[in-house]
Structure 1
Amino acid sequence: MDSLTHALVAAALAYAAGLPHLLPFFVLGAVIIDADVLFSLFSRNTPSLYLFIHGGIAHSLTGAVVMSALAYAGIVLATIAGLIPPALSFGFGPAGAAAVLTGAFLHLAMDLPASPGIPLLAPHSDKKYALFVLPGPSFLLMALSLFFLIWMALGVVTFAGGMAAYMAIFCVFLLVRAIAFCLSRPELRDVMLVLPQPDPRRWLALYDRGEAWEVKEYRMGRGSGASMVWQKYRGTTAAEIAPYLALPELKRLRYHSYLLTVEKENGALVFSDPLRVYGRIFYPPHYKQVRFNIP
């Protein structure tokens, strides 16, 4: 989910819990995780740091603790330096630190339903975990959050009224997606992976056919539609590509990908995620393909 949605949900929950004085701390924790968009400034040219990217190590349990600690330390230092007025420091101490950490864990919980998932156990494992209920990111949620923020900023509605209405619509949105998810499961039991689309009635069903990947478009109530098939190996074999699997460039590609194919082409091995290369899935937008020259 986008940072604005994370912030508004954290603010609404803090307000509903009767902790308005800790609201800034909850919001800080909920948005600090997405500061990992800056990580790519130093990791983009170093493939071995592939977890230091948006949706990477900061979106893990360990990362949430570290990012929360850094954020809270920043508040303490800013207050000591006189950059934050004492009136805004109410809630300092264990309560403030706990609120920041709670906001960070709330961020992870909100990202779990969406594809492509987050590496909860990083740095110990780069495996992504997701419920695949929501597409990632959801532009509808982003637009909803922006609308309510502007609505409240202009004074059209009070903060309390705006937050209540926002959370009601937010919960209905999640409920609709969850119901669509549950209704589609009986028809998609043998699928390797199901990717949600912006339309809650539509899914991409991924199948492992041995030597090939098959992707079918599924629409609730109408069954499977068009089918796409990509050979896993073209002009090469699993044994030939085995030495490349441990290379950081390929680990980075695999981390960002849903499927992986490899083709021998003009003296090189080209590894690709066909779903993203051919525009069937747009997110994550980077690292869709990597090429290794054969010695």
Structure 2
Amino acid sequence: MDSLTHALAAAIIAYSIGFPQFIPFAVIGAVIIDTDIIFSLISDSHPSLYLFVHGGIAHSLTGAVVMSALAYTGITLAALVGLINPALLVRAGPAGFAAVLFGAFLHIAMDLPATPGIPLFAPKSDKKYALFILPGPSLFMLTVSLFFLIWLALGVVTLAEGITTYAAILVAFLLVRFVAFLASRPALRGTMRAIPQVNPLRWLAISDSGYAWTVRDYRIGLGMTDPVNYPKYKNTSPEEVAPCLALPEVMRLRYYSYIVTAEKEGDTILFFDPLRVSGRLFYPPHFKQVRIAIGVCAPGG
């Protein structure tokens, strides 16, 4: 979900429950998580740091606490040097940090419905968790949030006047997606994973048949399309591939991917996500494939 929607959600909740003085803190907490987009400046060149990326370690429970602490420290230092009014910090007191932490955890909760998921328990595990209700970042929600912010800035509506309409639109959008999610469950039961598409009536159903990934399109009311099979191994074997899986480049690829296949070409193995390489899925757009020399995978290589 986009940072603007995160910020507005935090502000609206703080305002609605009667704590308007904590709005700046909650907003900072809700936005600070997405500053992890700058982590890629380092991790892109260092595959072993693949969790330091947008949607990576900062989007975990531990990351939310650490980022909140950093944000609150920044607020305190800014107040001490006069960049912000110290009275803001004094009025909030220790509860200011709780508001920042609330905003950060709200961000995590709001990202859970969307693919491809977030690593809730990083750095202990890089496994992604998602409810698979939304197809990644929502352009619709960003557009609604942007218009709402413009209306506020122009004085067309006050915060009190606009909250109901804004919240109703977002809740209706999420309700449509959730109803579609529930409606698709009977047909998608038994699949390994069902990826929601931009059209709420469409899903990409992925199954594991052992040595191949089976992918079908599902449309509510129309059923499944014919399957497309992607062999997991071509000209190679699980035994030959296994030593490569611990390489940082391959671990990063697997973190970014929905499915991964391996194809031996000469003295190299090409690992790639066929869904993203073929354009069937766009997001995440980076690190779709990696070529590894077989010698590198061997012990001592």
The answer, yes or no, to whether TM exceeds 0.5 is yes
Residue identity matched to 2:55? G
Residue identity matched to 2:148? F
Question: Equivalent residue for 1:248?
Answer: 248
Residue ranges of structure 1 left out of the alignment (5+ in a row): none
Give the distance between the partners of 1:160 and 1:263, measured in 2 at CA.
Answer: 58
TM-score (norm 2): 0.96
Question: Equivalent residue for 1:73?
Answer: 73
Work out whether 1:97 is the aligned partner of 2:97: yes
Q: Kindly, what percent of the aligned residue pairs are identical?
A: 64
Question: Equivalent residue for 1:53?
Answer: 53
Work out whether 1:268 is the aligned partner of 2:268: yes
Map of 1:1-295 to 2, 5 A cutoff?
1-89=1-89, 91-295=91-295
What's the offset of the Cα at 1:226?
A: 4.6
Give the distance between the partners of 2:204 and 2:63, measured in 1 at CA.
Answer: 31
What's the offset of the Cα at 1:273?
A: 0.5
What's the offset of the Cα at 1:227?
A: 3.1
What's the offset of the Cα at 1:87?
A: 4.6
Give the distance between the partners of 2:282 and 2:146, measured in 1 at CA.
Answer: 22
What's the offset of the Cα at 1:90?
A: 5.3
Give the distance between the partners of 2:5 and 2:52, measured in 1 at CA.
Answer: 23
Q: Deviations over 1:151-170 (max 9, x none)?
A: 21111111111222111111
Residue identity matched to 1:117? G
What's the offset of the Cα at 1:139?
A: 1.0
Residue ranges of structure 2 left out of the alignment (5+ in a row): 296-301
Q: Deviations over 1:137-192 (max 9, x none)?
A: 11111111111111211111111112221111111111111111011101111110
Give the distance between the partners of 1:118 and 1:21, measured in 2 at CA.
Answer: 30
Question: Equivalent residue for 2:298?
Answer: none
Give the distance between the partners of 1:127 and 1:286, measured in 2 at CA.
Answer: 18
TM-score (norm 1): 0.98
What's the offset of the Cα at 1:294?
A: 2.5
Give the distance between the partners of 2:73 and 2:87, measured in 1 at CA.
Answer: 18
Give the distance between the partners of 2:107 and 2:115, measured in 1 at CA.
Answer: 14
Give the distance between the partners of 2:202 and 2:276, measured in 1 at CA.
Answer: 18
Residue identity matched to 2:237? T
Contact 1:202 1:219 (8 Å CA) reproduced: yes
Equivalent residue pairs, number: 295
